[in-house]
Amino acid sequence: MRTKPRRVIDSHTHVFPHYVDLAVEVMDRCGIQRSVTLEWHDGFGRALQEHLAIFNRYPGRFTVFGNIDFRRINEPDFGPRAAEQMEQDVASGMKGLKIYKALGLEYRQPNGKLWRINDPRLDAIWAKAGELGIPILLHTGDPPAFWQPVDERNFWNGVLYGEYAWWSYYRKGFPSLDELIGERNQVIVRHPNTTFICPHVGSRSECLQLAAEDLDALPNLYYDISARIPVLGLPHHARNSRDFLNRYQDRVLFGTDVIYDDTNVPTGVQAQCLYQPGEIPLDEDFRRAYVDSTVRFIESHYRFMLTDEVQENPPFKRSLQGYSILGLALEPLVADKLLWQNAARLVPE
């Protein structure tokens, strides 16, 4: 049984440019040839150009997805103007567009109503990406548990409090997950010439039947598996996950959602573990601790995909009750498609 991948493209990362050296060290130790790094919310115009100059010091190692300036969303002609900026950013070296879940859950119109994902005033953005031949990584919604009471039955109860309490949408008047995904899918239908990569199994990891129905209906839709291994690997769910990935082996990308940022690096623990501030003691050699913890985090992904190992207390903080995940032991041809071939096809250097 293969325990290490032959080649890896991590299709979902977030690297603050001044931590690029940490990212490269982790990539080298984990056998990651290339990472797709997603800019936060300032990845356009001059800031994007400055960031690209830093990433370009490591030729072939980083593919950068930029953003659009949603601070201007309520200005007249926002969509066409954002499309024009995208065209300039692609000329500068941007290879894709990242849209955060704030669209649908945060951005508001002057009357206080949330902007809907399928608002036709945004169509120029989706269409321009198709014209430019770049994919859109469109994050919509969150796990269903974020709309449920945060109690002992909520699998995310180890996260949805303290620093992350605002992630809970329970009884706060937000659109439902089904509403958000329905609006997202309408956008994808309206723009068949644009490639959409919806991360986190399209917010459908808990119900792979719905995830499959969306893929069947939308040929320009793809998923990544970032930040959802804790669900995909649950022992009662793992067989369905394996069947799903086998069936849609050409439509799913490997991603870790590793984050190298100023908030989390000093804790010495990979941000996607989702520990609360103060739960991890600071270490004088935090950079070394951060690299080591991130390597362990990524290697856990490999064990999940390539072996049938049971990982007790995996490095993904989720449930206060504790849990384990079961490895899928994917066949080498399937694993290679997920780990790098699909990304190489959809997100070229």
Q: How far apart are CA 84 and CA 79, in angstroms?
A: 9
**pLDDT of the residue at 287:** 86
What would the two tokens of residue 81 be?
A: 């103007």
DSSP state of 116: P
- The closest alpha carbon to 293, from 304, 281, 305, belongs to 281
**pLDDT of the residue at 2:** 65
**pLDDT of the residue at 1:** 58
**Could you tell me whether strands 62-66 and 96-99 are parallel, antiparallel, or unpaired per DSSP bridges?**
parallel
User: CB 224: neighbour CB atoms within 10 A?
Assistant: 26
Asked if the 8-346 domain carries CATH number 1.10.1060.10, the reply is no
Question: Where are the domains positioned within the chain?
Answer: 8-346
The 10s digit of each residue's pLDDT in 226-239 is 999 999 999 999 99
Q: What share of the chain is helix, strand, coil (3-state, %, to 5)?
A: 45, 15, 40
Order of strands across the sheet with 258-260?
Answer: 252-253, 221-224, 196-198, 136-138, 96-99, 62-66, 32-38, 8-15, 258-260
**pLDDT of the residue at 213:** 98
Which residue type sits at 244? F
User: CB 263: neighbour CB atoms within 10 A?
Assistant: 11
Cα distances (angstroms) measured from residue 200 to each of 110, 118, 254, 323: 31, 20, 10, 19
The segments of the chain whose pLDDT lies below 50 read none
**pLDDT of the residue at 282:** 61
What would the two tokens of residue 131 be?
A: 């014209």
Residues pairing with 9 in the sheet: 34
- Whether this prediction's pTM lies above 0.95 is answered by yes
Which residue type sits at 223? Y
